[in-house]
Structure 1
Amino acid sequence: MTNVDPQELAKFSDLAHKWWDPESEFRPLHEINPLRLDWIDQHAAIKGKAVVDVGCGGGILAESMARRGANVLGIDLADKSLKVAQLHAMEAGVANLDYRCVAAETLAAEQPAQYDVVTCMEMLEHVPDPASVIQACAAMAKPGGWLFFSTLNRNPKSFLFAVLGAEYLLKMLPKGTHEYARFIRPAELARCIREAHLDLVQFKGMEYNPLTRHYWLSGDTSVNYMVACRKPVSAA
């Protein structure tokens, strides 16, 4: 059984044509992308590396990593979003970038230990079994490879900011984008990372000022946060 929620796929498929409109519902992803790209690159030095972006959507992060010189495969199960990503990459002439409609678990079985860098951003809170995705990402990474995850913390503050604030008050995201019960506390994500036999390197929070529309990285993981980890060199 594929680790996917059909309602989540339908939700993002309905918005697929808006992925590359920086003033659309995907505006927050466009605005945070330079921050997350630089943070990933600082850790993993992605130029020339084999990278897989799990849950790539319309390709905002995947294409930006390819532009930095990485050889990128973006995977997703939302076919409409992938078609948008492929068309945008073709029109932009980004050659070192490919896309596939395949589950993380399937690709991990096909291509174990093949990637220097694995990214899975803003995706774990949209699947029924995030631990399964983390295990698959770990399997895809080469020994010594870097893995990056991002998600939303589960607490009253994140409900206020990420659901009520972003979806209902500021209307930055469509209503129903996030299901609060699926948010993941840092301790829960850390446990999944350890169970996947990965070494946790760094947690990094992401904050937002709605008045200035400014995002920045910080040590505050109470709402949006990212984590960097590595697969031990001794890992099989």
Structure 2
Amino acid sequence: MTTTIDPADVQRFASVAARWWDTTGPFAPLHALNPARLAFVRERITAALGQVDGVSILDIGCGGGLMAEPLARLGATVTGVDGTAEGIAAARQHAAQAGLTIDYRQGAAEDLVAEGLRFDVVLALEVVEHVANVPAFLACLRALVRPGGVVILSTLNRTWHSWAMAIAAAEYVLRIIPRGTHDWRQFLTPAELVRGLRAEGLQLDRITGLSRRLDGTWVLSDDRRVNYLVSARA
């Protein structure tokens, strides 16, 4: 099976994995994004499946567990998979300290496909812009979600706004994330992502933008120029 993992990105994230839960460290932008992302995830799961409690969720590219933990607290049965051993170690340690039961695994989406696993919900948050093969990755998402289930992605649009904000400002001017974290050429427009999902038989449910307020918090909005989220149903 075609691998979806980009080795360079795995190495990059592994080098800072010990700081996943440092709210002022290299993952600070994800901590800031998380409340808005969680609101969207809860809303779309509830709309499709009625509730989060008892739902099986796969978090692909889970990192240190920033999304897996709040979903587990809401009663979901969560599995997290990540390509970095260091990220999984950080996730397991933090979950243990929090008294949460989450099934964390090192590996790739295609490994779970090979096992024949399926879930009610499949998440890929800030992941698709880092994979080595987008069509193969989207095929994995489709294979991993049960009929009637939900696939949710969040990512960066390919616009000059995203280059200015996510790369020029974040990586070089403000230096809030490590240089080289993103490659603008790997960003997908909403139209490209939706087209790829539909090619796998997934139907668009909702697409929403994210906007950053002056106080640094993020809210769901109609502005998709930089960050956006997509939900699709199987």
TM-score bracket for the superposition, by shorter chain length: over 0.9
User: Shift of the alpha carbon at 1:17?
Assistant: 0.6
Task: Name the counterpart of 1:223.
Answer: 226
Report 1:20-99 matches (<5 A).
20-44=21-45, 45-95=51-101, 97-99=102-104
Aligned length, in residue pairs = 228
State how far apart, in whole Å, the 2-side matches of 1:219 and 1:198 are. Answer: 22
State how far apart, in whole Å, the 2-side matches of 1:216 and 1:191 are. Answer: 25
User: Shift of the alpha carbon at 1:195?
Assistant: 0.7
Task: Name the counterpart of 2:17.
Answer: 16
Q: Which runs of 5+ in 1 are unaligned?
A: 232-236
State how far apart, in whole Å, the 2-side matches of 1:173 and 1:207 are. Answer: 18
Report 1:1-236 matches (<5 A).
1-44=2-45, 45-95=51-101, 97-112=102-117, 114-209=118-213, 211-231=214-234
State how far apart, in whole Å, the 2-side matches of 1:141 and 1:74 are. Answer: 14
8 A Cα contact 1:46 1:117, kept in partner: no
Structure 2 counterpart of 1:49, one-letter code: V
Task: Name the counterpart of 1:234.
Answer: none
State the structure with bigger RCO (CA 8 A, min sep 6), 1 or 2.
2
CA RMSD of aligned residues (A): 1.1
User: Shift of the alpha carbon at 1:2?
Assistant: 2.3
**TM-score (structure 2 length as normaliser):** 0.94
User: Shift of the alpha carbon at 1:214?
Assistant: 2.1
State how far apart, in whole Å, the 1-side matches of 2:134 and 2:61 are. Answer: 12
State how far apart, in whole Å, the 2-side matches of 1:9 and 1:157 are. Answer: 26
User: Shift of the alpha carbon at 1:68?
Assistant: 1.1
8 A Cα contact 2:33 2:217, kept in partner: no
- Greater mean alpha carbon deviation, residues 14-23 or residues 30-39: 30-39
User: Shift of the alpha carbon at 1:102?
Assistant: 2.0
Q: Deviations over 1:117-163 (max 9, x none)?
A: 11000011111112211111111111100110111111111101111
User: Shift of the alpha carbon at 1:28?
Assistant: 1.1
User: Shift of the alpha carbon at 1:43?
Assistant: 1.4
Structure 2 counterpart of 1:195, one-letter code: A
Identity of aligned residues (%): 40
